[in-house]
C-alpha cells in the first residue's frame, strides 16, 4: 500500500519516512517504546488515552541501507522497510516482532445459499473476514501466548481467538464466542520465546484483533477507519511491558481506603427504608460493609441528578444517618437524559447545544430507562465540564462515589446510527469515532467533578471504557449471570483487565442475572474477596442475593471471606500504592510472576494477589477437592500452615468453607483487625503475618482519603524477615499518625515491636 521507501528525515524524536504512495513516522518515546504512525484520512486527532510522553531526551541513531531505514536506540533496533513493513530487534539483535510479508488468507466459511439457510433458523454465521481499511499483520513464529485486550470473555491466553473492540451491551449470558463486551482496550502483550512485547493500537473506531485464529503464520489488528497508530513496547518481563503501557496511558490512582472494603448493591434498593434495612442487616449479621450502591430507582422517574422525594425523602439526613454507621452511598448515573420539558438537566443541555445531534441538526433521541432520552456529547470539553459540575448535586447530598452505567452508550431502540454527530474537542465527528470513548469521557467528567466538589480521591465505577480510563475510574465487568461459567470466567477476565491497565476491577459477586444458588454464592465470595473491587450486585427479578438470604452455613462462609478481606486491607492498599507507581496490577495471572513456568501460560483458575498470595479458588459445583498448581519455591497453606514444596500439582481438600490460598515463603503480610467498616477502629498497631523463609516488603500508610500524600504526607516502612526475625525501618515519615506497635505473628507466637 505504501510502496517503496523514497527518503527519510529525522525531526526531534520522530523519523519521518516518505514512501512512493504515502508517508509515516516512527516516534521514539523511550529506549524501549516507539510509536508507529501514518495518517490515513488527513484528520488531526488527539489521543484519548495517552497522558504523557518523554522522548526528547532519548538518544537514537538513524541510517539507511538496502534493507530500509534503521533506527537504533539503547534497547531496540527498528528497521522500516518498503510498504512500511516494520521489524523490531532487541539489544542483542534477536528478532522480537516482525511484520508479516504475505497476503491474508481469509477463512473459507460458507456459500451464500447455505448462509441463508442457516440464518433462517436464527444461526449467526461468523463474518470477521473483511479487508479492513487499516490492517497490520505480524508474524506469529515466536509467540507463545497473548494476554490483555481488556475486558473480554473466554480464557487467559487469547492466542487463537478473534475479538472486536466495539463497546457492547449484550445482557445474554456472555460466553467464549462473544467478540466484544462493554470495554475497548486495544492493548495486548505477546509472550514470546525471547523478550515479551506489548502493542497498543490507539484507534477508537470499530477495531479487530485476530490473535492467530485466521492463520498459523500471522496475527493481525485492524480497524474500519482512523489512523494507523500504534505503540510498540518491549520489556525484560511482562511487568516491564505493563509499566510501559501504563506510563503511556496512565495508572490507577491510589483510591480512598474505604473503596477497598465490601460493597453491597442490588437493582434496586429503591427506598430509604429498604437501604436502612440492608444496612441494619449487615451490622446485625456482622458482615463488614463500607458501601451501598443505589441503582436507578433512587431517582425521580430515572432523571439523572435527582432523588425521588417519595422514596428518598430527606436525602441528606438519610445519608448522614448511614454515614454514622460507617456506610457510604454511591449512586448510579446513566448518560441518557430524559427528554422532558422543564427538567433542568434537559433544558440546560438543550439550550447550550450539549447533546449529540442527528445530521439534520436536531437533537438525537433514543430510548433508555427514562423513556425518550438524549445523550450528552462528552467529546466536547464544555459538556464534560458541565457534567462534572452536576456532580455537585450528589456531593452536596453526601454521596461518596458515582457509578457510570449504560455508557457504551446503550440504547433500547436500536444502536445509535453511525452518523450521529459528536464533537472531539473542536472537531465535528460522529458516533463511529466516539462510541468506544464515550464511557471514557463520561468517567473523566465524573472524576473531575468529584475531585472539584468533594476534594477527596474520587470513586467512580464504570461499565464502558477505553484504554487509559484507569486514570479516572474503577470498572466492573457488567451484566454477568449467576452461572458457574461466569465464576470461572471471572478469573481470566480480571487478570486480563489488570494486564490492560484496569487494575481496580471486579465482577458482580454472585452474578447479576439469573438466580444464584447458595453453593455458587459461597464460592463466588471466595474469589470476590480477592478481587480489587468487591461488590455483590444482582438484577431486578432475580433472587435476592444478600449474604443472609441463604441460611447459616452460607452466611458464616460469607462472613469468613469478607472478614479475610478486611484483615488484608493494608496488604491491598500497599498493592494499590505499588500500582500507582508501576502499573503492576493488584490481581495477577501467575504468568506475570512466573514467566518461565510453562505450566502457568494457560492457568485459568488460579491467580496471585501481589507477589505473596496465591489463590486457587473452587469454581465448579460439587467440587470439594481442588487440584492446585504451585510454582517452584516454598509455599505455606494459609489454612493449615503446612509447608509445601512448589513446582508441582497438589490436591487440596476444599469443602465449601475452604478456598485454597497459599502464601509464599518469607512473606510478610500486613493485616488490620477485622472492622465492620474502614475507620471503625483507630489503627495504632499493624499486625504482620510472617512466614518462614526470607523476604522483605514495603508498607505504605496515609490518611486513606485525601490527596495530601502527593505532597509527602505519608509513611513508608520497610520490613525484612529472616525466619520470623523481623526488622522494621521507617523510610519515609510524612504522616503524623504513625503506628505505635507492630504485632508479629509467626508460627503461632505473637511478638510486639514497639515503635518509638
Ligand atoms: C445495567 C447495569 C446493571 C444495573 C442495571 C439497572 O444492566 O449493567 O448493573 O443494575 O443496568 O441500572
Q: What is the DSSP track for 375-404?
A: -B-TTSHHHHHHHHHHHHHHHHHT--EEEE
- 117 alpha carbon – ligand 1 mean position (Å): 36
Ligand 1 pocket member 463 (CB < 6 A): yes
Classified as helix, coil or strand, 446 is helix
Ligand 1 pocket member 296 (CB < 6 A): yes
Nearest CA to ligand 1 atom 3: 479
How distant, in Å, are the alpha carbons of 301, 339, 377, 732 from that of 372? Answer: 12, 6, 16, 55
The DSSP H or E segment spanning 555 is helix 552-567
Ligand 1 pocket member 607 (CB < 6 A): no
Instruction: Point out the residues of the chain with pLDDT beneath 50.
Output: none
Contact 255, 474 (CB under 8 A): yes
Q: Hey, which of 264, 295, 336, 535 would you mutate to test ligand 1's pocket, going by the most ligand atoms within 8 Å of its Cβ?
A: 295
At 482 the pLDDT is 98
Based on the residue annotation, tell me whether 113 is a catalytic residue of this protein. no
pLDDT in tens, 687-721: 999 999 999 999 999 999 999 999 999 999 999 99
Per-residue exposure over 181-202, b if at least 16 CB sit within 10 Å of its own CB, e if not: bbbbbbbbbbbbeebbbbbbbb
At 131 the pLDDT is 81
Ligand 1 pocket member 479 (CB < 6 A): yes
- 267 alpha carbon – ligand 1 mean position (Å): 7
At 123 the pLDDT is 83
Q: CA nearest 529: which of 513, 507, 499, 555? A: 507
- 269 alpha carbon – ligand 1 mean position (Å): 13
At 51 the pLDDT is 85
| Contacts of 724-727 spanning 24+ positions with Cβ under 8 A | 724/690, 724/692, 724/749, 726/668, 726/688, 726/690, 726/753
- 596 alpha carbon – ligand 1 mean position (Å): 41
Nearest CA to ligand 1 atom 7: 479
The residue to which cell 496488604 is assigned: 571
At 114 the pLDDT is 86
Based on the residue annotation, tell me whether 405 is a catalytic residue of this protein. yes
Strand order in the sheet with 371-374: 337-338, 371-374, 365-368
DSSP state of 639: T
At 1 the pLDDT is 84
Q: What are φ and ψ of residue 447, in 5° steps? A: -60, -50
Cell of 702: 496515609
- 405 alpha carbon – ligand 1 mean position (Å): 7
Of the listed 32, 164, 210, 479, which one is catalytic?
479
Amino acid at each position: 500500500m505504501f510502496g517503496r521507501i523514497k527518503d527519510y528525515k529525522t525531526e526531534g524524536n520522530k523519523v519521518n519516512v516518505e514512501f512512493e504512495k504515502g508517508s509515516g513516522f516512527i516516534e521514539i518515546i523511550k529506549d524501549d517504546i516507539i510509536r508507529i504512525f501514518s495518517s490515513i484520512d488527513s484528520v488531526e486527532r488527539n489521543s484519548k488515552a495517552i497522558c504523557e510522553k518523554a522522548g526528547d531526551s532519548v538518544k537514537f541513531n538513524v541510517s539507511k541501507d538496502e534493507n530500509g531505514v534503521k533506527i537504533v536506540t539503547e534497547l531496540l533496533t527498528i528497521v522500516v522497510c518498503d510498504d512500511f513493513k516494520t521489524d523490531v530487534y532487541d539489544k542483542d539483535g534477536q528478532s522480537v516482532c516482525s511484520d508479516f510479508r504475505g497476503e491474508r488468507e481469509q477463512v473459507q466459511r460458507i456459500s451464500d445459499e447455505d448462509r441463508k439457510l442457516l440464518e433462517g433458523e436464527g444461526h449467526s454465521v461468523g463474518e470477521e473476514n473483511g479487508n479492513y481499511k487499516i490492517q497490520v499483520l505480524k508474524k506469529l513464529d515466536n509467540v507463545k501466548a497473548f494476554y490483555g485486550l481488556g475486558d473480554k470473555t473466554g480464557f487467559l491466553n487469547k492466542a487463537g481467538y478473534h475479538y472486536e473492540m466495539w463497546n457492547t451491551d449484550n445482557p445474554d449470558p456472555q460466553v467464549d464466542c462473544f467478540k466484544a463486551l462493554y470495554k475497548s482496550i486495544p492493548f495486548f502483550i505477546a509472550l514470546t520465546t525471547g523478550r515479551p512485547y506489548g502493542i497498543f493500537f490507539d484507534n477508537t473506531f470499530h477495531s479487530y484483533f485476530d490473535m492467530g485464529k485466521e492463520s498459523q503464520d500471522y496475527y493481525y489488528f485492524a480497524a474500519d477507519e482512523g489512523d494507523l497508530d500504534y505503540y510498540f513496547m518491549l520489556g525484560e518481563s511482562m511487568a516491564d511491558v505493563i509499566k510501559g503501557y501504563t506510563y503511556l496511558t496512565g495508572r490507577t490512582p491510589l483510591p480512598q481506603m474505604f473503596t477497598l472494603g465490601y460493597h453491597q448493591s442490588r437493582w434496586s434498593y429503591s427506598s430509604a427504608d429498604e437501604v436502612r434495612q440492608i444496612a441494619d442487616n449487615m451490622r446485625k449479621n456482622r458482615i463488614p460493609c463500607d458501601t451501598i450502591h443505589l441503582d436507578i430507582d433512587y431517582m425521580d422517574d430515572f432523571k439523572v441528578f435527582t432523588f425521588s422525594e417519595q422514596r428518598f425523602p430527606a436525602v441528606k439526613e438519610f445519608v448522614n444517618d448511614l454515614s454514622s454507621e460507617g456506610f457510604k452511598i454511591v449512586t448510579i448515573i446513566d448518560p441518557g437524559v430524559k427528554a422532558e420539558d422543564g427538567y433542568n438537566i434537559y433544558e440546560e443541555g438543550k439550550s447550550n447545544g450539549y447533546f449529540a445531534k442527528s445530521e439534520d441538526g436536531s437533537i438525537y433521541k433514543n430510548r433508555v430507562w427514562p423513556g425518550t432520552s438524549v445523550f450528552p456529547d462528552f467529546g466536547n470539553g464544555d459538556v464534560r465540564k458541565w457534567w462534572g459540575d452536576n456532580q455537585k448535586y450528589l456531593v452536596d447530598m453526601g454521596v461518596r462515589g458515582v457509578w457510570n452505567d449504560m455508557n457504551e452508550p446503550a440504547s433500547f431502540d436500536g444502536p445509535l446510527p453511525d452518523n450521529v454527530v459528536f464533537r472531539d474537542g473542536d472537531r465535528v465527528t460522529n458516533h463511529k469515532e466516539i462510541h468506544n470513548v464515550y464511557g471514557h469521557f463520561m468517567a473523566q467528567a465524573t472524576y473531575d467533578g468529584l475531585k472539584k466538589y468533594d476534594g477527596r480521591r474520587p470513586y467512580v465505577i464504570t461499565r464502558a471504557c477505553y484504554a487509559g480510563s484507569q486514570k479516572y475510574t474503577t470498572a466492573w465487568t457488567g451484566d454477568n449471570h449467576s452461572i458457574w461459567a461466569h465464576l470461572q470466567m471471572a478469573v481470566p477476565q480480571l487478570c486480563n483487565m489488570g494486564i490492560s491497565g484496569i487494575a481496580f476491577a471486579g465482577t458482580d459477586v454472585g452474578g447479576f442475572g439469573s438466580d444464584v444458588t447458595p453453593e455458587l454464592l459461597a464460592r463466588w465470595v471466595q474469589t470476590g474477596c480477592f478481587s480489587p473491587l468487591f461488590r455483590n450486585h444482582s438484577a431486578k427479578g432475580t433472587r435476592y442475593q444478600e449474604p443472609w438470604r441463604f441460611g447459616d452455613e452460607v452466611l458464616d462462609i460469607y462472613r469468613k471471606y469478607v472478614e479475610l478481606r478486611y484483615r488484608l486491607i493494608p496488604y491491598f492498599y500497599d498493592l494499590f500504592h505499588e500500582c500507582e507507581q508501576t502499573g503492576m496490577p493488584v490481581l495477577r495471572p501467575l504468568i506475570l510472576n512466573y514467566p518461565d513456568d510453562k505450566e502457568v501460560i494457560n492457568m485459568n483458575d488460579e491467580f496471585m494477589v501481589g507477589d505473596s498470595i496465591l489463590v486457587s479458588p473452587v469454581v465448579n459445583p460439587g467440587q470439594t477437592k481442588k487440584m492446585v498448581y504451585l510454582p517452584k519455591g516454598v509455599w505455606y497453606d494459609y489454612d493449615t500452615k503446612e509447608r509445601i514444596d512448589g513446582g508441582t500439582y497438589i490436591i487440596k481438600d476444599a469443602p465449601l468453607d475452604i478456598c485454597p490460598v497459599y502464601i509464599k515463603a518469607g512473606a510478610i503480610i500486613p493485616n488490620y483487625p477485622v472492622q465492620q467498616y474502614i475507620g471503625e477502629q483507630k489503627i495504632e498497631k499493624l499486625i504482620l503475618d510472617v512466614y518462614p523463609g526470607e523476604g522483605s516488603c514495603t508498607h505504605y500508610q496515609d490518611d486513606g482519603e485525601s490527596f495530601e500524600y502527593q505532597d509527602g504526607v505519608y509513611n513508608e516502612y520497610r520490613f525484612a524477615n529472616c525466619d520470623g526475625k523481623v526488622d522494621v525501618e521507617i523510610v519515609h515519615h510524612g504522616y503524623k499518625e504513625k503506628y505505635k506497635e507492630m504485632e508479629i505473628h509467626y508460627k503461632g507466637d505473637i511478638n510486639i515491636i514497639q515503635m518509638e
